[in-house]
Amino acid sequence: MIRSAVRPGSYHDSVVLMQLQRGLAALPGVLDAGVVMATPANREMLAAAGLESDAEAGPGDLLIVVKAESGPAAGEALARVDSLLSLRRAGGGQGYRPHTLGAALRQLPAARWVLVSVPGRYAAAVAGEALDLGRNVFLYSDNVALADEAALKRRARERGLLVMGPDCGTAVVGGAGLGFANRVRQGPIGLVGASGTGLQAVASHIHSLGSGISQALGTGGRDLCGEVGGISALQSLDLLRRDPETRVIVLVSKPPEPAVAARLLAAAGATGKPVVVDFLGLAPPLRRLGALHFAVNLSEAAELAVRLSNEEEKVEESPERGGGFVRGLFSGGTLASEVRLGLQAFLPLSSQGHDILDLGADEFTVGRLHPMIDQDLRLRRLRQETEDPAVGVILLDVVLGDGAHADPAGELAPAIERALCGRGRDLEIVALVVGTDEDPQGLAEQMATLGRAGARVCRTVEEMVDAVWRRLAPGSTAVVEEGSPVPLEAIRAPVAAVNVGLESFYDSLAGQGLQAVQVDWRPPAGGNEKLAALLARMK
């Protein structure tokens, strides 16, 4: 016997809903109960749990479904919904609770942080209010529009404030855990992450290895998409760059968009500190790039960071800056694609700008010898590229061995020499030599020939990618180019905060012995969105 009820467009704290559901399920004769906002996903889940209801209800409506032994039992349960809903959550030591954010901040002016965990559709407005009041925001709420996120973050950047989130699950700021946070030792490792449990896993693992963290700054999962452009991540890297407690940085994120990745890694490189990077699911084919160290997973990120924090690593400033596009003219397909993947970590590749060509690909070899035998095509392209003043770096591979060209370096050298003569230090040619000291061409001679012609000679793809990184990575100029830097005070202890939303987050702040105020927040017009819109228009 299944019965349901709908409360249209009404708002209730998630904790209250959980308690309602448990209250209903505990009533005599009731087998199961479900209480959800009637989104398609939630209704599907109810159905899967045997609590299907055909009641008319939209995503903004509260849907209550009861499965009972009998009709009367179900009816009685539903009749108690309103009284159960009116029950306030028990406990909570705080006495008076301000009803507005403004009042809360007057009560606790030292609060530099506002935690926001109200439902997504109200969250941007509350976060915006916090920014207007000059406070940094920890925005736990999800289901916030991407455009709202971008707007909030731009506003924050203008004012030297930080917005962590939306959908930011965790942070540790000045030793205080915000949202979900593990209790970890203070230490030399600063974390930045577009990932909640990722940060928690790294922080916990660092703790279990005997080290500790200085700060853990969340950005929300969408910070690194093109629309937002990594604003929070860049601000966070800049904060950790200036933070004297932070000796090693860990950057955890889902694979960012290429243009954002480029800016992010440049900023990471510009911190002048060792940075461990874990792009979940997109490990570039590199272990290291200057002071950047790439990890393949969360636990490795933690282990690397601890190891680096125990070393007295000197991060050397690279003196070899330059510009121009990178053009690769490869004879080996796999070498080309490994170089491409390595560069993609920090350069957006396109056929107009930076580009890596595999001249041994099927399309180039119809009725033509492979470029490992016949370099004619490559020599032509080399001439073309060197004549293009927009090109700054040319990458070549030279593959030795039986079956290959008898003297590839000898044939390339005059072309390289001519190119470098004409362009000077404005152009760099990097050659990757694959071969052994037993190869018929003579490994040492081939390398010497290329070197004499002026090429920089590498033995691994990683070395080659590193050479490009050293030339093209921007220097430690200001990482946050727009807006104002976030003052270090934002992440200094003692932390005081105002909490708007989930009371468990207030409890957690209080449990850590921090100064905190809970706002007795209600949605505008009691959650009636039509009325709220009307009221907003009347303002």
Closest distance between a copy of itself and the C-beta of residue 99, in Å? Answer: 22
| Sheet containing 2-7: order of strands | 2-7, 62-68, 30-37
Among 163, 197, 162, 192, CA closest to 268:
192
What CA–CA distance (Å, rounded) separates 251 from 268?
Answer: 8
With H, G, I as helix, E, B as strand and everything else as coil, classify residue 87.
coil
CB 251 within 8 A of CB 278: yes
Closest distance between a copy of itself and the C-beta of residue 132, in Å? Answer: 26
Closest distance between a copy of itself and the C-beta of residue 127, in Å? Answer: 17
Task: Return the number of the residue (145 or 421) whose C-beta is nearest a copy of itself.
Answer: 145
What CA–CA distance (Å, rounded) separates 212 from 188?
Answer: 6
Collect contacts of 129-132 with beta carbons under 8 A, ≥24 apart.
Answer: 129/101, 129/102, 130/101, 131/155, 131/156, 131/159, 131/161, 131/163
Task: Return the number of the residue (16 or 315) whose C-beta is nearest a copy of itself.
Answer: 16
Task: Return the number of the residue (110 or 146) whose C-beta is nearest a copy of itself.
Answer: 146
What is the number of residues in the chain? Answer: 539
What is the distance, to the nearest Å, from the Cα of residue 505 to the centroid of all Cα atoms in its chain? 23
Task: Return the number of the residue (299 or 476) whose C-beta is nearest a copy of itself.
Answer: 299
Q: Which two tokens stand for residue 466?
A: 């590193």
Among 406, 463, 511, CA closest to 183:
511
Closest distance between a copy of itself and the C-beta of residue 37, in Å? Answer: 3
Closest distance between a copy of itself and the C-beta of residue 287, in Å? Answer: 7
CB 122 within 8 A of CB 526: no
Going by C-beta distance under 8 Å and a sequence separation of 6 or more, which residues neighbour residue 23?
80, 84, 87
Closest distance between a copy of itself and the C-beta of residue 407, in Å? Answer: 14
Task: Return the number of the residue (128 or 166) whose C-beta is nearest a copy of itself.
Answer: 166
Task: Return the number of the residue (132 or 463) whose C-beta is nearest a copy of itself.
Answer: 463
Closest distance between a copy of itself and the C-beta of residue 443, in Å? Answer: 9
Task: Return the number of the residue (20 or 393) whose C-beta is nearest a copy of itself.
Answer: 20
Closest distance between a copy of itself and the C-beta of residue 369, in Å? Answer: 4
Task: Return the number of the residue (238 or 518) whose C-beta is nearest a copy of itself.
Answer: 518
Residue holding tokens 């099927």? 362
